Each structure stands twice: as structure tokens, then as C-alpha cells.
Amino acid sequence: MPKKKVYDIVPPKVANKFENVVMALSDDEKKESANRQTKKKRRPLFDNEAMQAIQDMEKAPLPGLNPPSAHPPAGGGGKKRKPVRELVFGFLIIIILSAVYFALKLPKADIEIKPKLEPITLDYSITADKSANSADASKKIIPAFFLQEEKEGSMEFNATGSVAADKKASGIITIYNKLTPTTPFTLIKGTHFLSNSGKYFITLDKVTVPAGNYSKGKLVPGSIGVKVEAKETGEAFNIEPSSFSVPKLSGTIYYYSISGESKNAMAGGYTGNLKKITKEDIENAKNTLAEKLYGQGKESMQKRLSESHVLLAGAIVKEVLSFSASQEAEKLTENFTATAKVKLSALAFKSEDIENIAKKELTALLPDYKKLLEDSLKITYVSEQADIEKGTMQMALGFSADAYFQIDTADLIDLFSNKTEGEIKNLISTRHGENIAESKVDLWPFWVKKAPKDKNRIKIELNFQ
């Protein structure tokens, strides 16, 4: 019996014919669409050659199947099969192969391990020296950087002192002498003058009013200006220009001959308190202004440094070069202006120099099987004492950080291959149980029950949050 050839899916010759059939089908569909638009007569969908290719493909044996019989089965009527079954079978093969591929490549395992953290602390002292070229942990010395800045500025300050300021209004009045026969008239110190508004004013000195004289047969009164002061304090005596009489001359021949008149308003009358500058105001202005300039100088120096530098407040020395105030102490005024000039000198250092020493010193406290969590490092500056002239600064520091048991993740990955979630957690607990706070296993996709055999698909992450 002659041997029959077995093909993967269909024989090459049939496959080529099938390809031609598909192409013919595509071309015929395009022509059919055009025919519908032009309303032409349809032609057959397949020509003779295409029909022959389909028949040959139906007769071709499939892998694992018996070749078709030369004669149709009894009662079958000789009906030809369609290619649908073979196409479906081909699609199933593709789906199966894809499923196998994804089953091998998609699975992955993400394992999160949270180690227990142990805090460690260390008190430390170190010197920053501008003469040092590099950090030396054995000598506890780091390089320092010297900076200097001068600032000058002014500020206005309010006076805080107060003083009773009851004052009497004062001014000048002109006294007229209309006596006849003409003769000088003398008024004693303290003579009262009464204004037409009813306010009393008193002369501060003895005064003699000259006699009048006649001009062209008409009397020209003698007159003299004299300073007077209100009898009482208060703003009520700041009266406008007025006429005055001498009440004590009432009932005498002099009452209507001796009078007074003010050409300007009285002024200076006041009742209450006035602000004044105190010695404390001057001293406070000096300190406040110096502090403001200090802050400006510190900010200016900080801009000259990089972000990696540290400038401590205790390492800045402030010197007031000059100070002045626009008013002296005890001066009656609401406010005054102060001006100052300040010089600042400082020492700074690089934070990384301190951090490197801190990591080294804290690591030295740990056994070999433990590791320092460097991201948890904290440095506290307890105190600092700077000697600007020498260019040195003594610092007391506090170092603190967390430590954890070292975990060999590469070794664990070798153990986790092809293990279930429970088995992985048991392995973690067996190896590092007392040093682990928590562990999580995430297998993906959801239907996967074991970690993949491919170790590259297994990922272990240490979580220190």
C-alpha cells in the first residue's frame, strides 16, 4: 500500500489554492459592491478555478485524522463539505498556543517584606575648623567656611513715655492809653485782662503804657505790646483775636481809657498727656534695629552658600558698628527714627561631612548581621560655640537612626521558585521570623497559585515605611 504524505494543516498546493480563493473572494466582494451601485447583472461569486481549490482543500487530510474516503458514505448523497471546520480548528490551535505562552510568561510574584526596626542613638562632639582641608573622623574635625556681611538701615519707632502736659495759652496783646490829660500809665505784673469772650489773661511783667498825643487836634492813644498768659490751662483759652478790658479798673476814670486788643489768636493751651522718648525707647530701638539687620545679614550669607551647607544661629557673631536716633531721651514727641550699621561674622560647614561621620559611627555600633537604614538618619544640634577670631566652632550633636537584620533577597528568590503563597510565607518565617514585622505575597494573574519557575519573574521588596 503506498505511503500517504501527512501535512501540518493543509498541503502546500492546496494552501496556495486556498490563498487564491480568499483573494478571489475579496476581489469578487469589491466587484459585487460596485455592481450593486451600478445595478448591473450579478456574476458568480467563484470562478471554476476557485471552486476547484475549495474542493481540493476539503479533500486534504488533517493531522491526526483519517484521510477522506474515495467514496462518500452510504446515504450521504455525496454532499461536499465546507472549509469552516478546518478554519475553526486552526483558530483553536492558535488560542491553545497563546494560552501556553501567556501561562509561561505572564505569571509573576511580588513579595514585600517589612523588617523590624531597632533605633540606635549616639551623643557626639565635633569641631568645625576653617583651617581643615577635609573631614577627619578620627580627629573629629570637619572643614568650616568663614563668612562676613555688613548691613545698614533705619526704622521709625514710637515714643512710649508720657508726661502731664496741662498748658496755658499765651499770646501778645496791645494795651492802649487814652487818658486825658495825656499821661503814662503803669500796670503791675499780674494785671488781669478780660476778653470779650469771657477769658482771663494775665501780664507776666510790669508794664508802663506811654501817654497819648494829639495830632491835628485828635488824640492818638499811647500803646505798647505785652505778653500775656491765660489764667487757666486748657484748649478753651486758644481764642481768636479779641478785645480786652481791665476789670480791676472798673468804677474808676481809667476803666474806659485803658484797654487791650490781640491781633493774633492765643495758642498753646492744652490739658492731658504728651508722648516723650525714654531711655528705654532708645535702647529698644538699638536692639530691634540690630536684630532686623542681623536677620537680613544671615539671609544674605545663606544665599552665598549652597543647599548642602549648614549655617547655625549660634555660629554667627553680631557687632553693632554705629547707632543714632533722631531725637534724644525726654524729648516730647510721638515718634523718632533710629539708624544703625551692623557687621556679622559666621562659620558654616557642609551637612554631608557630618552625615558621613554619623553613618560611620552608628554603623560601628552594629553587629555584622545588622545594617543601618541610612534614610532614617537624624542629626540634632544640641549646642554650638563659635570662636570667630580663631575660625573654629565646637558642636555637641545627637545622632539617631534605625537598624535592621540584613536579608539576602537573592537567596530567598532561589527558594521561592515554584512555591505557593503559604510556602513562601513559611520560608520567610523560618529564615527571618523574629526579625520580620510583616510579609505579603502577591501572585499574578489571579489564577496563578504558585510563584513562577523563572526567577526573573520573582521580585522581593523591603518595605521600611
- Residue 5, pLDDT > 90, answer no
Q: pLDDT over 70 for what percent of the chain?
A: 81
Give tens-digit pLDDT for 254-289. 999 999 999 999 999 988 888 999 999 999 999 999
Q: Indicate the residue among 304, 323, 349 that finishes a domain.
A: 349
- For position 65, what pLDDT does the model report? 44
Q: Of 256, 264, 262, 263, nearest to 177 (Cα)?
A: 256
- For position 69, what pLDDT does the model report? 47
Are 96 and 184 contained in the same domain? no
- For position 89, what pLDDT does the model report? 78
| Residue 261 counted as domain residue | yes
Mean pLDDT, rounded, for 347-370 = 95
Mean pLDDT, rounded, for 375-387 = 94
CB 211 within 8 Å of CB 179: yes
Q: Indicate the residue among 349, 365, 388 that finishes a domain.
A: 349
Instruction: Categorize the per-residue pLDDT at 41 as very low, low, confident or very high, splitting at 50, 70 and 90.
Output: very low
CB 345 within 8 Å of CB 147: yes
- Domain extent, residue 284, equals 146-160+275-349
Are 264 and 290 contained in the same domain? no
The least confident of 89-93, 323-327, 376-380 is 89-93
Residue 402 CA to its chain's centroid (Å) = 28
Give tens-digit pLDDT for 133-170. 999 999 999 999 999 999 999 999 999 999 888 899 99
Are 264 and 281 contained in the same domain? no
H or E stretch including 172? strand 168-177
Give tens-digit pLDDT for 185-203. 999 999 999 999 999 999 9
Instruction: Categorize the per-residue pLDDT at 1 as very low, low, confident or very high, splitting at 50, 70 and 90.
Output: very low
Instruction: Categorize the per-residue pLDDT at 91 as very low, low, confident or very high, splitting at 50, 70 and 90.
Output: confident
**Which of residues 64 and 247 earns the better pLDDT score?**
247
- For position 88, what pLDDT does the model report? 81
Residue reference for cell 534724644: 328
The count of domains in the chain is 3
Are 188 and 213 contained in the same domain? yes
Are 247 and 293 contained in the same domain? no
Give tens-digit pLDDT for 410-437. 889 989 989 999 999 999 999 888 999 9
H or E stretch including 310? strand 309-310
- Residue 53, pLDDT > 90, answer no
Are 289 and 267 contained in the same domain? no
| Residue 203 counted as domain residue | yes
Mean pLDDT, rounded, for 360-367 = 95
Are 99 and 240 contained in the same domain? no
Query: DSSP code of 252?
Result: S
| Residue 447 counted as domain residue | no
| Residue 111 counted as domain residue | no
- Which three three-digit cell numbers place residue 80? 461536499
Strand 243-245 with 192-195, pairing: antiparallel
| Residue 21 counted as domain residue | yes
| Residue 430 counted as domain residue | no
Are 266 and 208 contained in the same domain? yes
- The chain-wide mean pLDDT, for the chain, equals 85
Are 253 and 292 contained in the same domain? no
- For position 159, what pLDDT does the model report? 96
Are 266 and 297 contained in the same domain? no
- For position 31, what pLDDT does the model report? 53
- Residue 320, pLDDT > 60, answer yes
- For position 83, what pLDDT does the model report? 75
Are 151 and 296 contained in the same domain? yes
Q: Indicate the residue among 271, 295, 327 that finishes a domain.
A: 271
Residue reference for cell 537680613: 296
- Which three three-digit cell numbers place residue 13? 498546493
